[in-house]
Structure 1
Amino acid sequence: MESLFWGCLVGGSLFAVVSLVLGDLIGSWIDGIFDVIAVDFFKPIISASAITTFGGAGILLFRYTNLGAPIIYALAIIIALFLSILIYFLYVKPMENSENSTGYSAAELPGKLGEVTVPIPSQGFGEIMVKFVAGNTLHIAASWDHREIAAGTLVVVVDEKEGIVQVSELYEEEHNKEMV
C-alpha cells in the first residue's frame, strides 16, 4: 500500500519537474492530443497535483495514523480532490481569464488603420503607428500609391513586404478635391 502512495508522489513530482523544464517542447509535440477532453478540470496541472497529493496524503496517513487501508485510501482521495479543486479555482481559472497576448503577426497588418507619425515622402520611408488591443506598434512605412503623406494623417495598411508596410491615405476625397 505504501509503495502505491510513494509511486504517486514520485511520479507526480517528476511530471511537475519535467513539465516545468520541458513544458513548451512537450506541449508542441502533443499539441491538440488532449483537445478531445473538453473538461477544464482534467488539465495536466490539475491531474498531476491530484496524483501527487494522493500519494503524499496517503504516505502521511499510513505512517502517522492507525486507520485501516480503506479509510486511508478514501481520505487520500478526498484530500486530493479537495486540493485539486482549490488549485483549479484559485490558480488555473484566474490565470486562464488573465491571458492576454501582446503578439501580432505581420499577416494581421493589411486592413489595419494607422496614423502617420513621421511624414512619408512619395519615394521614401516614414513611420506609422498602428493600434492593437494590447497596445500601439510603430512600423516603417512607404506610400502605396507613391504620394506624400503628412504626419497626423490617417492611413490604412494595404500590404506588408520585408518589414515595410505599404499604406494609403484613408480619406482620399480631400486629396481629390485639391487636384480638381
Structure 2
Amino acid sequence: MTLFGTSIETIYLVALIVSGAITLLYILFSDFLEGIAEAVGFNPTLLLAFITFFSASGYILERTTTFHSYIIIAVSILIALILDTLLNVFVLIPLSSAEQSLVYTEDSLKGRVGKVIIPIPEQGYGEVVIESNSGMISKPAASYKGTMVEEGTTVLVIEVENGVLSVVSYNNNRLHEEEEE
C-alpha cells in the first residue's frame, strides 16, 4: 500500500524515528515542556509512546506478514492502545505517586523531632537536621523561647515561619522546662 506516493513501510519507519527523536528531546527538556503540556491538557509521554508503539508494530507487521495494510493498521492501533495503557497503569501512575510521597511541606515539619548540628545562640539562628523517608532535611532554626541550644541537642519543632524552624529542647519524650532567671 502507498500513501502520498510513499510506501506504508517507509511512513511507519519515519514515524518511528521521528517519535523516538522527539521522545529523547522530551526526556531532556521535560521540565519545560511539562508546563506547556498541562496547559494543553494531554500527557505527551502517553502520546509519544502511542505513536512509537503504533509505528513500530505497524512496521514489523508490514515487513513480516502478508496481511492487508488496513488490518495491520487496526492491529497496530490495538497493540499501541494496550501497551500505552499498561505503561500508564504500571509505570507512570506509580512513579507520579512515589514522587509526591517524597515531598515535604513546612507544615509537615511541625511536631517533628530533630537534632541541632549548628548551635543556636540566644536570639540567633543555628541549624537542625531532621530524618525523613527521603533522607535528611537540614533547615535553619531558632529557639522558640530565645534561649541558647547546644550542638547535639534533640529538639522538637514547634512552628515554621519563612523557612526557619522554631524549636525547643526535647528529651525522653518530655519537653525540657527552660529555667527563667
TM class, shorter-length: 0.5 to 0.7
Give the Cα–Cα distance (whole angstroms) in 2 for the partners of residues 137 and 173 of structure 1: 24
Equivalent residues of 2:116, 2:155 under 8 A apart: no
Quick one: distance in 2 between partners of 1:72 and 1:173? 75
- TM-score after normalising by structure 1: 0.65
SS of equivalent residue, structure 1 residue 99: helix
Is the CA contact 1:114–1:157 (under 8 Å) kept in the aligned structure 2? Answer: no
CA RMSD of aligned residues (A): 3.7
Residue 141 of structure 1 corresponds to: 141
1:174 maps to 2:177: yes
Within 1, Cα distance between the matches of 2:114 and 2:51? Answer: 54
Q: Hey, what's the Cα distance between the residues in 2 that align with 1:164 and 1:97?
A: 28
State the AA in 2 paired with 1:82: I
Higher strand share: 2
| Count of aligned pairs | 169
Listed as ranges, the gaps of 5+ residues in structure 2 are none
- TM-score of the superposition, structure 2-length normalised? 0.65
Counterpart mapping for 1:112-131 below 5 A: 112-117=111-116, 119-131=119-131
Report the alpha carbon displacement of residue 64 of structure 1 after superposing the two structures with TM.
3.5
CA distance in 2 between partners of 1:159 and 1:98 (Å): 25
Relative to its length, the structure with more helix (as a share) is 1
SS at match of 1:70: helix
Which amino acid letter does the alignment assign opposite residue 13 of structure 1? G
Report matched runs for 1:88-167 at 5 Å. Answer: 88-99=88-99, 102=102, 104=104, 107-108=106-107, 111-117=110-116, 119-150=119-150, 151-160=152-161, 165-167=165-167
* Inter-partner Cα distance in structure 1 for 2:109 and 2:63: 65
